[in-house]
Amino acid sequence: MQYRIEKDTMGEMQVPNDKYWGAQTQRSIENFPIGEEKMPNEVIEGFAYLKKSCAIVNNKLERLDDEKTAAILQACDEILEGKLDGNFPLVVWQTGSGTQSNMNINEVVANRASEILGCDFRVEKPAHPNDDVNKGQSSNDTYPTAMRIAFVLDLQKRLIPAIKTLKATFENKVKEFEDVVKIGRTHLQDATPLTLGQEISAYVDMLDKALLQIDDSMKYIVELAIGGTAVGTGLNSHPDFSPMVAEVLNELTNTKYKFKSHPNKFHALTAHDGEVVLSGVLNALASNLMKIANDIRWLSSGPRCGIGEINIPENEPGSSIMPGKVNPTQSEAMTMVAVQVMGNHTTISVAASQGNFELNVFKPVIALNILQSIRLLSDTMIAFNDKCAIGLEANKINIEKYLNESLMLVTALNPYIGYEKAALIAKTAHKNGTSLKEEAMNLGILTYSQFDEYVKPYEMIKAKV
């Protein structure tokens, strides 16, 4: 590999000759050989949108000439198109403000822009990473802005469509199973009847609430730190810079959630409570997906020695030793995702608490964990939808058997004979291994005809007015 010499305020560095990054990026590579977690591509994309917007605004404010602006815009577009992939090698575990990643972007954009301007950037740099690409900005306000752009775009691209897809499938299952009456369960014990459709309707509502909670959390995430520069005062930035950048970002990204300048830049730089709120929404979704996945795998347990009220698709062999075994693998994958997201929420909460004085310096780890949570939740919901939820079937033989054998049907007798006598019937039937109907007759409490009149499972699925 051939190298060239790049300089920064700390001195000279050897940089791979075929890369657009400069000395500060190379220093970060050498100073932080920690882990394998690279700065997420979504953050790089957010930076590209941000640097493009900043260049447009600086040009409008007559702080950046037309020629440099055009070159910077083209370089940013090439990043967004993936043409400069391989030029963003930095790990998450770097400075907590994301300074090195901001400079990585600045160097790549500046060097590519210099090339676009007709110069060999290895020799001559008419576009400067600090003076031009980073004009009116600081790492302290650009990194939190870039990561929030990333969150908004990724939520719209991945998570919201995934939620809507799984919700639609469960809505179809609610209709498909609306007349399938089954026994309910509370405390893992038999309870009163409901329909399988009613049971699944809870999942629909959970997912619908997740969409509403995402909408609500976005009012914090769309507030951008850009314009605060180093400590929130806006030093070296134009007073109109921040709202103008937000306006341009909205034009470029065309998002449902509209970006705006954070009303208090000191808050924007030092605190990430908005990220904790968003992570809390992801955590709540993970909790509900855990519940859904567990329900599905319990209800499909068996096929002969479990509950077996529903059948799941047979996607792959479940055992390397037991022939014919099929496991609820999509549920298992989704529950593992859920616990990872819950762990991410703890990381984000602790990281957000570390805003000392004018700056939080845990920004990259916050970005990593939120974006991982969004990606994992999105992927697992689509996989669960396509490989499990769509193919769910009601096992009506087992459902009918459990329904008729349940002792909790006795609850329907409460209004007629009272709780104490109903309990006596249930306990006696359980002790003797007989039916409720038999023991109601044997105990002299009800005749068969009275029992049949009062206990009608198919009429117990909704309250009587």
Residues of the binding site: 97-99, 128-131, 138-140, 186, 320, 325-327
Q: Which residues are annotated as a binding site for substrate?
A: 97-99, 128-131, 138-140, 186, 320, 325-327
Pick the catalytic residue: 53, 101, 187, 272? 187
Active site (annotated) includes residue 300: no
| CA distances from residue 72 to 14, 79, 146 in whole angstroms, order as listed | 25, 11, 17
The alpha-helical segments, DSSP class H, found in 355-405 are 363-387, 396-405
Q: Could you report how far apart the first and last alpha carbons of the chain are, in Å?
A: 81
Q: What distance in Å separates the CA atoms of residue 426 and residue 408, rounded to the nearest whole number? A: 8
Bridge partners of 261, per DSSP, are 224
By three-state DSSP, how is residue 245 classified? helix
Tokens of 369: 């964990």
Q: What distance in Å separates the CA atoms of residue 255 and residue 248, rounded to the nearest whole number? A: 12
* DSSP class of 157: I
The two beta strands, 223-224 and 260-261, are parallel
CA dihedral 170, 173, 179, 182 (to 10 degrees): -70
Active site (annotated) includes residue 319: yes
The residue to which tokens 């937000």 are assigned: 246
Pick the catalytic residue: 28, 319, 378, 430? 319
The residue to which tokens 């930035």 are assigned: 237
Q: Which residues have a catalytic role annotated?
A: 187, 319
